[in-house]
């Protein structure tokens, strides 16, 4: 009976768009188009209108619907609390929350704002007067995002999605031997070491005699096991292993007539732009200027020497943790010999300020066959030129240039939308797989033998 009476009442007042319940008038405009069962609920005071979730609508919510920001004028006169008063509260030791409450109480327009505007006002004042700090363990994502927001030129304008795609395309995983050319402050080397987790090795190579700066690795807070597997070696020393021995990844005795590639020898004879200014750039005995001597004979000795350091005592008698090993030491001769015989399992190049084509021509022979590589650059043209050179020389297959794309969304109730300020540029990545370059001399010999066989068959 009550439902029928409510239906009749709504039909009578439908054209008026208002209904009077007791001494209160309620508008039916927000309720149009909704099911009848969710329009009203029986409450202790009689028939009450409901919200979207079916709960009774209180007087405060009905009053909030009438508030808007159209009449607000931002003329810096709504706040009666001056900056001197805020400084006086700080000197007296007032907390940040107390200052925020005082600002809200002294604002003449706060009560006329909508609920969303009031929350935004509170968050804005809390960030200024009552900031909260959340301590987290550093990671590749947080470090890359911080540098990209504060000092993007230091990391070559590399976004976090570009860095993750770079590691994935290079197939960086456990027990990998990664060769990296890091000209972005050590961001790539630190990301590789973090992904390896102390199981593989990463060698950061550089052009000339002065090593590249990898200071960002200190911010990763890596343990001693992971730090001890980060090495630095000049490109000239790695190339000397290639020229003195067989090709990496090849079996000795299978191809006795194979000679080193002529393109690789010419690239070694022709110094790059960064090596012209240094007279000792092509010296195969060049060492980094910050390498400590002597080096341990094996990697196991290196790890044992770093971990077995006795605990130091401070001035107050408390024990101090031993100093972590420094990243970027020269690799041991045994490790260099292993890399010369087997080659590296992957290659990552992030050198925006160098010529990519000449650098890659020197680095690809250091990889084992079927090893993936990924090259990052801020612009497209250097990678396109490098891709054409690799296609002509037939040193790699599966070549492709990828442009990373990222859009960040703000997900809030009734306010989900893309961020208003986004970076639409993330650089480019050239990826591929290194293959064995066919020997022109062997191809000619095989062609001659096939021609002689055909002539013999014709004569028969």
What CATH number is given to the structural domain containing 164? 3.40.50.150
- The reply to whether 81 and 216 lie within a common domain is no
Residues 6+ apart with CB under 8 A from 93: none
User: How does pLDDT run across 211-237, given as a tens digit for each residue?
Assistant: 888 889 999 989 999 999 999 999 988
The answer to whether residues 350 and 408 belong to one domain is yes
Least confident of 25-34, 104-113, 153-162: 25-34
Within-domain flag for 108: yes
Residue 339 pLDDT exceeds 80: yes
Pairing between β-strand 417-418 and β-strand 372-377 as defined by DSSP bridges: unpaired
- With respect to residue 181, please indicate whether it lies within any of the assigned structural domains: yes
Asked whether the beta carbons of 138 and 190 are under 8 A apart, the reply is no
pLDDT of the residue at 70: 77
Residue 412 domain flag: yes
| pTM recorded for the entire structure | 0.60
pLDDT score for 19 = 52
Q: Count of residues for the chain?
A: 460
> How distant, in Å, are the alpha carbons of 55, 154, 336 from that of 38?
9, 58, 76
Cβ within 8 Å of residue 385, ≥6 positions away: 356, 357
User: End of a domain among 135, 162, 187?
Assistant: 135
- Residue 40: pLDDT above 90? no
Half-sphere exposure of residue 11, counting CA atoms within 13 Å on the CB side? Answer: 6
**Number of folded domains that form the chain:** 2
> Under a CB-based contact definition with an 8 Å cutoff, are residues 322 and 312 in contact?
yes
Domain assignment present for residue 269? The answer is no
- Pair 120, 160 in one domain: no
Q: Quick one: 152 and 204 in the same domain?
A: yes
Whether residue 341 is found in the same domain as residue 416: yes
* Residue 68 belongs to a domain: no
Over range 344-371, report the average pLDDT: 92
Domain span holding position 230 = 140-242+325-434
Say which range, 83-92, 377-386, 448-457, has the weakest mean pLDDT.
Answer: 448-457
pLDDT tier at 428 (50, 70, 90 boundaries)? Answer: very high
Determine the Cα angle at 392 with ends 249 and 274, to 5°: 75
Are 94 and 223 within one domain? Answer: no
* pLDDT value of position 388: 95
Nearest CA among 102, 6, 304, 327 for reference residue 192: 327
Provide, for the chain, the percentages of residues in helix, strand and coil under a 3-state DSSP scheme, each rounded to the nearest 5.
Answer: 40, 15, 45
């Amino acid at each position: 009976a009550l439902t029928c009476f409510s239906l009749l009442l709504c039909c009578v007042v439908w054209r008026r768009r208002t209904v009077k319940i007791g001494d209160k008038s309620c508008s039916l405009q927000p309720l149009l188009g909704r099911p009848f069962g969710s329009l009203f609920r029986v409450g202790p005071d009689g028939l009450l209108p409901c919200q979207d979730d079916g709960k009774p609508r209180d007087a405060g919510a009905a009053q909030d619907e009438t508030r808007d920001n159209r009449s607000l004028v931002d003329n810096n006169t709504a706040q009666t609390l001056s900056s001197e008063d805020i400084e006086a509260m700080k000197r007296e030791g007032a907390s940040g929350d107390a200052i925020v409450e005082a600002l809200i109480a002294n604002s003449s327009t706060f009560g006329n704002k909508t609920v969303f505007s009031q929350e935004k006002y509170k968050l804005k004042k809390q960030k200024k007067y009552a900031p909260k700090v959340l301590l987290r363990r550093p990671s590749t994502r947080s470090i890359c995002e911080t540098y990209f927001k504060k000092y993007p030129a230091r990391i070559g304008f590399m976004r976090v999605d570009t860095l993750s795609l770079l590691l994935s395309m290079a197939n960086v995983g456990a027990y990998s031997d990664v060769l990296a050319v890091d000209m972005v402050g050590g961001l790539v080397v630190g990301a590789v070491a973090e992904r390896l987790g102390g199981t593989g090795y990463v060698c950061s190579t550089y052009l000339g005699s002065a090593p590249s700066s990898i200071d960002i690795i200190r911010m990763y807070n890596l343990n001693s096991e992971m730090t001890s597997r980060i090495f630095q070696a000049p490109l000239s020393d790695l190339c000397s292993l290639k020229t003195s021995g067989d090709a990496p990844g090849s079996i000795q005795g299978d191809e006795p007539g194979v000679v080193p590639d002529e393109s690789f020898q010419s690239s070694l004879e022709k110094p790059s732009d960064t090596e012209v200014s240094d007279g000792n750039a092509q010296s195969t005995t060049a060492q980094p200027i910050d390498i400590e001597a002597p080096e341990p004979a094996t990697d196991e000795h290196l790890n044992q020497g770093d971990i077995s350091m006795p605990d130091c005592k401070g001035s107050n008698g408390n024990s101090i943790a031993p100093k972590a090993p420094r990243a970027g030491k020269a690799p041991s001769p045994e490790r260099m010999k292993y890399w010369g015989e087997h080659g590296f399992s992957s290659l990552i190049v992030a050198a925006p300020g160098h010529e990519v084509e000449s650098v890659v021509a020197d680095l690809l022979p250091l990889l084992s066959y079927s090893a993936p590589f990924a090259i990052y650059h801020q612009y497209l043209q250097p990678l396109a030129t490098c891709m054409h050179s690799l296609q002509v020389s037939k040193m790699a297959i599966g070549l492709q240039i990828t442009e990373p794309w990222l859009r960040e969304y703000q997900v809030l109730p009734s306010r989900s939308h893309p961020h208003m300020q986004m970076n639409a540029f993330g650089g480019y990545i050239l990826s591929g797989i290194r293959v064995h370059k066919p020997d022109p001399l062997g191809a000619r010999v095989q062609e001659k033998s096939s021609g002689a066989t055909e002539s013999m068959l014709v004569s028969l």
